[in-house]
Amino acid sequence: RGESYNWNSSSALCALHPAPPTVSLHPDLGEPLLHPLPCPQENCYPRVRPPRQSLSPSLTWCTPALQSGMPRFTEVKARGYKEYLKAVEGRKKEDAVFVLFCGDTTDEGVSWCPDCVKAEPVIRGELEHLPEGSTFIHCEVGERAYWKDSNNEFKKYMKLSGVPTLLKYGTPQKLVEEECLKVDLIRMMFSED
């Protein structure tokens, strides 16, 4: 049932998670699911990033709930506007979908956007406050040159003005740039109905 992938263990895993995650296929979608190994640290979410060529960019990550061991939310990776549209296709406001838009990851494994590099760990630290059964989409908006183009699809069709941007899909709720560093605003967005 599971499939094996080539993992570069020297670049992808942190000291708390020295072994690769297990991989299986989603029973309904047939997409790969990564199941992070249990971590003894409370509130710890493994930050494992596969090499881009190894797995589909729209990979679904199962993130464990803190106590129950059951997935609290699903994380979907998207790269570019078309994959973003595919990730939100058929979703409604009541589905509790949250989207983080960041600059693309460089060959060094970090975003070209320094504000995104600062904001992502702050936002990930608050994921435990996401509603049960919600979806968290991490969307890379493209390389720096594409993002700076005022006619890029994110700016043209979604009216995004900066990255990072965290929004609740189907609502006007949005945090932009330095607002994504404010834990109280992030927590309020994740916990409000």
Residues acting as catalytic residues: 113, 116
- Give me the residue label for tokens 């932009």: 176
Residue 75 pairs in a beta bridge with 61, 136
In whole angstroms, what is the distance from residue 50 CA to residue 11 CA? 9
Q: Which residues lie closer than 8 Å to 177 by C-beta, 6 or more apart?
A: 115, 162, 163, 164, 165
Q: How many other CB atoms are there within 10 angstroms of residue 145's CB atom?
A: 9
